[in-house]
A and B are shown apart, each in its own frame.
Chain A
Amino acid sequence: MRANSWGYAPIIRMTNISVEPGNDGNLDSLIADTKDGIYMETNKSWSIDSMRYNFQFSTEIGWEIKDGKKGRMLKNPSYSGITPEFWNSCDAICDSSEFIYWGEPNCGKGQPMQLMWTGHGASPARFKNVQVGIARK
């Protein structure tokens, strides 16, 4: 439970939820281990339904991966899906050498709105059979 300040009611916040590092080497080795995929970098925007099932996240930049090598650059890539299916499709998580605590300065919740810093750590991870680029369909 956290509040913006004394003038706000404390509400439940997920301020420090992280994905633990895995045992699948560093990012270079994960890319080298991928035959056909997309490496997405950054997180530009995120949208989820009110029960956290369907999501669509957009990134600024990505690269095709073919036979273990980064290839063509991709602009504004996005990925979407159903949360339990997406996390069940995760087949690799890089180790602690790649782990970063990412931050988000303005996570909004509540009425009246409360904005709060959040910190979520992760290493690069690989997910199979994910819908990408649906905005262009």
Chain B
Amino acid sequence: MIQDTDAKKIIDQARNYAQGKCQGIEVTINANNVATSRFANNEMTQNQAPEVLDLSIRVIKDGRQIRLSGDDASEAGVKKLIDSALDSIKVLKPDEELLPLETLASADDFEKEAEMASRIDEEAMAMSAQDRANQIKMMIQIASQEGLSAAGVYASGSTLQAIGNSEGDGIVCHKESSLESSITVSTPDSSGWAKMVASQLRQLDAHALADRATTKAKLSRAPHDIDPGRYTVILEPSAVLDLVTFLWSDFAATQHLDKQSCLLDKEGQKVFGQNINIIDDAYDDMQIGAPFDGEGKQRQKVQLVKDGVFKNMVYGRKAAKKMNHKPTGHGVQEPSSMGEHPMNLVMTGGTDSLGKMIESTDKGILLTRVWYVRLVDPARKIVTGITRDGTFLVEGGAIKHGVKNLRFNVSLLDLLNNVESMTLSNLTAGEEGFPAVVPGMKVRDFNFTEMTRF
């Protein structure tokens, strides 16, 4: 895979070629060599190991802007992409909201930038197909010893992101190691699931994932019918993540300008329970990802919610200008109507454990994960979705049995006002959004509206 110096060379080639041909150029390189090994029916099925490079170039000329991308980063490829952009930009209308490019970190500093928020684990990056196969073999054995069927992935490699523009010779560059593993263990009438992402090998315990998924599959066998209704729920961290991920965009300034946020005009007001604290912090030890945004601006740490009060939103450059605020380093790649998005969410957790939550529950439902969550009512932030891979009735302080999967319709505004207790927060992976640092939660009055057939 390309290295920092290769990225700088490509960006410099683009800058030099575009000089005098336009008023500005911004070059973004996203590269990765993440290899994904897959397994199903207790057999390893595939090892997919691509080296991917995406070269994305934004050209600014005569008040217009255009972004084109390709995967040819040779000198000829870079020139061709710029020529295509210069040709295509002629047919676009001027962009009234276009802002001039800003100077990035100096070339002398780019190595220092690369070290910032370093998330490189040489051991993780060095994992071979055989190493991944060994992990998969171990995971399969845990399920097959119980006579169950396992499927999933183990992925490892590294990612690199670099941005440079024509305002000076600055470049920001971030490289990190990348690991992901998930497993679904199935019986004829139940399943269990567990997933983790990490930048460090010590953070990814594939054995524990397989254990959890296998235990859940066994425990949820022969699921019972249950009446929909309002229940106290114990949400494991992945279930929390795949719900609250639908709230993150409500903290984006452009969502407020467009009157799309469910938190519109509520800055400074108490919107959630006293126990809810949310921060966007790219530098948190448990977080992953680059410490700069889509335009190369350094990410700031932003307290979004403090003791239930909506304290701050995040700003890209366009929204910041319109709202007379400083950008916070959360802009997305331009041109974009989205503006910005919080990317490194950290929710403060509590001191409970899932076990203690179960022990303290007379009647409730334990959710391993939620699935296919979608927005129903944007103003009240009602989302619907379905439970999956381990849904259990809790009675008298213990898991009683598995139940058939349930559809829910829940307001996230209500949810974060009904949190009774939380576990410690950890980096958590789901399927609906990007990973975040969130806790498990015990929540009252969770609204299940229908039951499905399995």
Contact = CB atoms under 8 A, between A and B. Distances in A.
B35 to A, nearest CB: 11
Contacts of B449: 80, 134-135, 137
A56 interface: yes
Q: Which of B52, B374, B384 has its CB near the most chain A CB atoms (within 10 A)? A: B384
Contacts of B84: none
A49 B46 contact: no
Contacts of A82: 452-453
Contact of B407 (A9, A44, A49, A51): A49
A22 B371 CA distance: 34
Contacts of B450: 54, 56, 80, 131, 134
A124 to B, nearest CB: 22
B376 A135 contact: yes
Contacts of A46: 374
B453 A54 contact: yes
A125 to B, nearest CB: 22
B382 A47 contact: no
A85 to B, nearest CB: 10
A50 interface: yes
B245 to A, nearest CB: 14
B323 interface: no
B48 A51 contact: no
B405 interface: yes
A112 B374 contact: no
A76 B370 CA distance: 22
Contact of A111 (B36, B375, B453): B36
Contacts of A56: 374, 376, 384, 407, 409, 450
A111 B376 contact: no
For the complex, would chain B's binding face be called helix, strand, loop or mixed by DSSP majority? Answer: strand
A55 to B, nearest CB: 9
Interface in B357-391: 371-377, 382, 384-386, 388
A137 B374 CA distance: 17
Q: Which of A54, A134, A137 has the most CB of B within 10 A?
A: A54
Given A54-B450, A82-B453, A49 B376 contact: no
Given A56-B384, A135-B382, A47 B374 contact: yes
A53 interface: yes
B341 to A, nearest CB: 16
Interface in A95-137: 111-112, 131, 134-135, 137
A47 B153 contact: no
Interface string B330-353: 000000000000000000000000
A53 B372 CA distance: 13
Interface in B396-454: 405, 407, 409, 447, 449-454
Contacts of A42: none
Contacts of B153: 111
B453 A47 contact: no
A49 B372 contact: yes
Contacts of B48: 8-9
B407 A80 contact: yes
Contacts of A76: 376-377
A51 B453 contact: yes
Contact of A54 (B46, B50, B452): B452
B155 interface: yes
Given A54-B452, A80-B450, A134-B449, A47 B50 contact: no
B384 A53 contact: no
Nearest to B371: A50
Interface string B15-26: 000000000000
Contacts of A45: 374-376, 384
Nearest to A78: B376
Interface of A: 6-9, 44-51, 53-54, 56, 58, 76, 78, 80, 82, 111-112, 131, 134-135, 137
17 contacts: A8-B50, A45-B375, A45-B384, A47-B372, A50-B405, A51-B453, A54-B451, A56-B376, A56-B409, A56-B450, A80-B407, A80-B449, A82-B452, A111-B36, A111-B182, A135-B409, A137-B447
Interface of B: 34, 36, 46, 48, 50, 52, 153, 155, 182, 371-377, 382, 384-386, 388, 405, 407, 409, 447, 449-454
The 5 closest A-B CB pairs, nearest first, are A54-B452, A45-B374, A7-B50, A135-B409, A47-B374
